Structure 1
Amino acid sequence: VPGVVVPLSGQTITTPMHPNIAVKSVFVKAVTNGKDVGIRMDWGDQSKNDTTIGPQHFRDQAAIQFPVNTSGAPPFQCMGQSGGTVNLWRWNAEWQKDLGKDSAGIWDVDNEYPAIFWDYYYEEPAGGVTYLDRIGRSLGPFNTGIWSGNIMSDPEMRVGSVEDLNANGFSTLTTQAHQDVVGNGVWEHSGSLKGGCCNGPTWRVVYKRALTTSDPNDVQFKGGASVPVAFAVWDGQNVERDGMKGISTWFSLQIP
């Protein structure tokens, strides 16, 4: 499957911004079997950043963006606009690390810092920790993220390492109630990508979704259509997060 090199530049329209981004381009491929669409993003990354347990940690991430309404001119490329909602598929290296991680399903503080001394919460076993497999009554007071239904805190709300979202402008990013996108990411110590994107340590991330869904907040792919698509990458080692990221302009994804 042929691919294209997509150039990226720093987001410099709203704060927080980071003009000195680490990833300057991504190598993109797309395929379909008539039922699903698959998109692969490859980019060079000298370090694997897949945890945010410590305050000094920032995760590697990558996102694909589509307008929900694919007819006419696409909305503003940075998170859409009022009346121009976008559908984003955001892959998260930390969620990738969490997949298959013990019964709690998450890389937690005791994994990152194995020598840590744990206190314990009232009404839990001595030495116990408030988490999914051993929560006790202290879940609400001590783990407000899970208690409030935050997908960033609760791995049971996820279908994998990709989050399905919508936005219609800055500060409107919202997790969808129904998650339809799956994906997988692998960091390789060495790699050589066709098209001149990069050599050396490399992230390779694949996204997959059905061509059409019943969710009105999803982009829909129809045979013979051309769908606007844009890309973004965050390099955790370069302390990139939120609006501090590399972004592309709109490109066209042709569905055969």
Structure 2
Amino acid sequence: MKRIGFGKRVSWFALCFAATGLGGTASAAVDGAQAADAKVLRVLSVNGGAGARSPDAAIWKKAPVARVDLQAAFPGHSSIVGTPATGQLAAQAVRARDMLYMKLRWSDKTANTAVADTDRFLDRVAVQFPLNGEASTTPFMGDGVNAVNIWHWRADGRTENLFAKGFGTATPVVSQALTSAATRRGDAWEVVLARPLAAKQEEGAMLKGRKTMPIAFAVWDGDNQERDGLKAVTLEWWQLRF
């Protein structure tokens, strides 16, 4: 990979510059390159891939896996208190002709598939894209000017296509194109979200023709009373690289 090659060249220069006192600068360049590359989810492109809709499909054994670290979401409201339970999820992506499939896997010992009273909540997962395709959009659900598109899976079997312009503004947008499939494997959820790469502006983020796309992730553990803004998230954009 080109970035690995770049990293090796920088490391070689770092050794050469160490005696001149410039090694710290070269080392920082290495760290920066590695950090940038660490937040990349590489898409596997295939000709077929219809079976990728299933979490059990063989194609997922070939797709690169990105280990995504999660943190507590920014407390956008004073009522959001608590510590999310999920610290990491595994993300994969496959492009098959005009479709994008995303598989998300995370540990969750209890399957919470229904809401009851005021103390039982759903397990959920979501991916988020800036509608304008720009990483300058805030990853915290967008803002009043720059909206985000959220693909939201719920453990009760529902999948929602949402738009948001800041905290508390998530709004369902009609779309028959977004689908999902999920399974339990041991103490973990495995979910595949699928949608055509192309989308009308009023229906979702345009992915067709892009080489990269900012993407963010979120997980809710219903057994930990997580809902709304109490969730585990990425606090900055990753890059989905086609």
The verdict on a shared fold, with TM-score over 0.5 as the criterion, is yes
Question: How far is 1:53 from its partner?
Answer: 3.0
1:231 to 217, 234, 237: 217
Deviation sequence 1:59-99 (CA, Å, 0-9, x none): 000000000111x43311111011110000000001x2xxx
In the TM superposition, residue 204 of structure 1 has moved relative to its aligned partner by 0.2
Larger strand share, 1 or 2: 2
The offset of 1:12, in angstroms, is: 2.9
* CA distance in structure 1 between the partners assigned to 2:74 and 2:178 by the alignment: 29
Partner of 1:61: 124
The equivalent residue for 1:74 is 136
Contact 2:70 2:232 in 1 (8 A): yes
Does structure 1 residue 216 correspond to structure 2 residue 213? Answer: no
From 72, 89, 107, the equivalent of 1:26 is: 89
The amino acid across from 1:250 in the alignment is W
RCO (CA 8 Å, sep 6+): is it higher in 1 or 2? 1
The gaps in structure 1 that reach 5 residues or longer are 97-160, 191-200
Which residue of the partner structure matches residue 67 of structure 2?
Answer: 5
Residue type of the alignment partner of 2:224: N
The answer to whether residue 103 in structure 2 is matched with residue 40 in structure 1 is yes
1:79-228 correspondence to structure 2 within 5 Å:
79-94=141-156, 96=157, 161-188=158-185, 190=186, 201-228=187-214
After superposition, give the CA deviation of every residue in 1:169-190 in whole Å (9 maximum; x if it has no partner): 11211000334310011122x2
Deviation at 1:215, TM superposition (A): 4.2
| CA displacement at 1:30 relative to structure 2 | 0.2
Q: 1:227 deviation in Å?
A: 0.2
| Identity across matched positions, percent | 31
For 1:185 and 1:231, the matched residues in 2 are separated by 17
Q: Which amino acid in the other structure matches residue 178 of structure 1?
A: S
Count of residue pairs brought into register by the alignment: 178
Residue type of the alignment partner of 2:144: S
Q: Deviations over 1:180-220 (max 9, x none)?
A: 310011122x2xxxxxxxxxx00000000001023434111
Contact in 2 for aligned 1:163/1:179 (Cα 8 Å) = no
The answer as to whether partners of 2:69 and 2:88 remain within 8 angstroms in 1 is: yes
Across the aligned residues of Structure 1 and Structure 2, the Cα RMSD in angstroms comes to 1.5
Amino acid in the other structure paired with 1:10: A
Is the partner of 2:223 in helix, strand or coil? helix
The verdict on how the C-alpha distance between 1:208 and 1:33 changes in structure 2, with shifts beyond 3 A counting, is same
Q: Secondary structure at the match of 1:163?
A: strand
| Separation of aligned partners in 1, 2:84 and 2:72 | 6
Amino acid at match of 2:217: F
Moved more, 209-218 or 166-175: 209-218
| Residue 251 (str. 1) matches residue 238 (str. 2) | yes
Residue 34 of structure 1 deviates from its aligned partner by 1.9
How does the TM-score come out when normalised to structure 1? 0.66
CA contact (8 A) 1:18 1:240 kept: no
Residue 224 of structure 1: how far off its partner (Å): 4.7
